[in-house]
């Protein structure tokens, strides 16, 4: 098979790494890819937002299966374009992807389908939002309605922080058109969990659970990021909770979308808060989580192509998936200043030595200058490993990190330490 992967981050590198292990795959392409992906696939210099050029490439090269990593091409209708050309692709349609691209739609959808989530209100003007907030209780969560790269969520402890969040989203337009509307939510307490399933529109196959670390600073301090690390499985999961999530969140979501004419095929991600009253949905994503995918791929024993093709063919009926019982982890190495302003072009050393220590290093924001690798993004590298215990896996990772250097390199040293524990 010829496989095409869309994306350029650590998630896509992890997917390509796993796809390269499939006996069914003869050739892998990536648009646009990165230096790490280029070690396993042929990178094609196309813009992931140009859905026509991507479809033209897949048609011309007779790609057997395309896998979409980031949310932007999905929001632009890449799956719809492929479907019109009878090209096989893994991911939801533009309408189904609305579950991620509009938080207000997602919240109203959950309310209508009785899916547990935080109490909320939606506002189209900053004055209305501020008026509501001034009469409310704190802490509270203020979210940009649209896509914001994981950075459009503000946990506000008082009215001043809440007004600043509304101003940044709706008046300063920090996230562009994504900030034309805000969602104000009740602040939930508990333990966060990432729960991902692959769906063919009717059936679902759950992936192993994971827990990610969103805050930039240790002990969960500082602003939200796209993710600073992850572990799998989540330490909070058990059979009772698993069954509750499937029954109260996953099945109603897939069925609710189907009844609205938004049949969901692809990867559905539910970001959950496990509260005293059970699991509640914080957000939906319509694609693989990042950096959770990096940790999860290390534990997947089955051929990933069987699973993904089954979903794309809308037939997961006889697909069986095996997982490694070991624990895995991922630590993100970031540029100084992330998730705010940061410099690029810092030379990276030590990746090969780290890999020799038994870790996997997935490239996220990197670029090449000649034969040397340099930083090219906020999240630069993902250092991952698995072990018999969480402690063993994390020791491997941090030992591996000790060999990697670049100017301004920053990372959390507490990934794997349990929140609220």
**CATH code at position 176:** 3.30.1490.20
Q: Residue 103 half-sphere exposure, CB side, CA atoms within 13 Å?
A: 30
Domain that holds residue 143: 125-180
Considering the domain architecture, whether residues 175 and 195 belong to the same structural domain is answered as no
Q: Judge whether 110 lies within some domain.
A: no
Pair (277, 353) in one structural domain:
no
Is residue 30 domain-resident? yes
Q: How confident is the model at residue 421 (pLDDT cuts 50, 70, 90)?
A: very low
Decide if 344 is inside a domain. yes
Average pLDDT over residues 143-165: 91
- How much is the pLDDT for 294? 98
**Mean pLDDT, residues 59-63 taken together:** 98
Choosing from 180, 212, 246, the residue where a domain stops is: 180
Say how far apart CA 255 and CA 261 lie, in whole Å: 10
Give the integer Cα–Cα distance in Å for 5 and 19. 10
- Regarding whether 353 and 291 lie in a shared domain, the answer is no
- Residue 120 maps to a domain: no
How far apart (Å, rounded) are the C-alpha atoms in residues 127 and 45? 44
| Count of structural domains, the chain | 4
18 and 75 within one domain? yes
Q: 308 and 193, same structural domain?
A: yes
Handedness of CA 166, 167, 170, 174 (dihedral sign): negative
Please check whether residues 238 and 201 belong to one and the same domain.
Answer: yes
- Measured CA to CA, the distance from residue 109 to residue 97 in angstroms comes to 13
7 touches 69 (CB < 8 A): yes
Is 33 inside a domain boundary?
A: yes
Average pLDDT for 72-81: 97
Residue 319 lies in a domain: no
- Looking at the domain assignment, is residue 416 inside a domain? no
| 345 and 379 together in one domain | yes
In which band, very low, low, confident or very high, does the pLDDT at 418 lie, cut at 50, 70 and 90? Answer: confident
CATH of the domain at 384: 3.90.600.10
Residues 292 and 352 both lie in one domain: no
Mean pLDDT of the chain: 95
The enclosing H or E element of 255 equals: helix 251-259
Cα–Cα distance measured from residue 390 to residue 272, given in angstroms and rounded to the nearest whole number? 21
Going by pLDDT thresholds of 50, 70 and 90, the confidence category of residue 165 is very high
In a domain? residue 258: yes
Helical spans, DSSP H, in 85-226: 98-101, 103-112, 126-134, 159-166
Q: What residues form DSSP beta bridges with 386?
A: 328
Q: Are 372 and 345 in contact (CB under 8 A)?
A: no
Q: Predicted confidence band at 89 (pLDDT cuts at 50, 70, 90)? A: very high
Question: Is-above-0.85 flag for pTM?
Answer: yes
Closest CA to 9 of 376, 372, 339, 336: 376
DSSP label of 381: E
pLDDT at 149: 77
- Residue that has been written with the tokens 């009785």 in this structure: 114
Kindly state whether residues 356 and 307 are assigned to the same domain: no
Q: Are residues 81 and 45 part of one domain?
A: yes
Q: Which two tokens stand for residue 179?
A: 């900030």
284: which 2 tokens? 């939906």
Does residue 198 sit in the same domain as residue 260?
Answer: yes
| Same domain flag for 225 and 263 | yes
Q: What is the pLDDT of residues 233-281, one digit of tens each?
A: 999 899 999 999 999 999 999 999 999 999 999 999 999 999 999 999 9
């Amino acid at each position: 098979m010829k496989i095409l992967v869309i994306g350029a981050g650590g998630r896509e590198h992890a997917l390509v790494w796993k796809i390269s292990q499939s006996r069914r795959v003869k050739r892998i392409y990536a648009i646009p890819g990165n230096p790490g992906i280029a070690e396993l696939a042929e990178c094609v210099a196309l813009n992931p937002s140009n859905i026509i050029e991507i479809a033209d490439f897949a048609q011309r090269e007779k790609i057997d299966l395309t896998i979409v990593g980031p949310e932007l091409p999905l929001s632009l209708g890449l799956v719809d374009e492929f479907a019109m050309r009878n090209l096989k692709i893994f991911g939801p349609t533009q309408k189904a992807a609305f579950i991620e691209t509009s938080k207000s739609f997602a919240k109203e959808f959950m309310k209508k389908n009785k899916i547990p989530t935080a109490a909320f209100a939606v506002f189209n003007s900053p004055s209305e939002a501020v008026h509501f907030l001034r009469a409310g209780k704190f802490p509270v969560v203020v979210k940009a309605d649209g896509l914001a790269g994981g950075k459009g969520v503000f946990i506000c402890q008082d009215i001043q922080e809440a007004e600043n969040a509304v101003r940044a989203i709706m008046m300063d337009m920090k996230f562009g058109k994504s900030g034309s509307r805000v969602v104000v939510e009740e602040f939930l307490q508990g333990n966060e969990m990432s729960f991902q399933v692959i769906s063919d529109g009717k059936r679902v196959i759950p992936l192993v659970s994971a827990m990610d670390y969103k805050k930039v600073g240790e002990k969960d301090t500082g602003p939200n990021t796209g993710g600073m690390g992850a572990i799998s499985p989540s330490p909070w999961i058990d059979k009772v909770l698993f069954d509750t999530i499937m029954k109260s969140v996953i099945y109603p979501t897939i069925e609710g979308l189907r009844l609205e004419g938004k049949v969901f095929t692809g990867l559905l991600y539910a970001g959950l808060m496990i509260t005293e009253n059970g699991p509640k949905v914080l957000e939906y994503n319509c694609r693989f989580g990042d950096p959770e995918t990096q940790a999860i791929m290390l534990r997947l024993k089955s051929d990933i192509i069987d699973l993904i093709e089954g979903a794309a063919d809308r037939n997961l009926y006889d697909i069986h998936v095996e997982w490694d019982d070991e624990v895995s982890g991922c630590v993100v190495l970031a540029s100084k200043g992330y998730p705010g302003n940061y410099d690029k072009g810092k030379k990276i050393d030590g990746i090969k030595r780290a890999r020799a220590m038994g870790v996997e290093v997935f490239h996220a924001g990197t670029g090449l200058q000649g034969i040397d690798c340099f930083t090219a993004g906020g999240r630069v590298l993902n250092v991952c490993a698995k072990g018999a215990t969480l402690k063993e896996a994390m020791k491997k990772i941090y030992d591996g990190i000790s060999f990697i250097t670049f100017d301004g390199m920053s990372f959390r040293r507490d990934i794997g330490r349990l929140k609220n524990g």
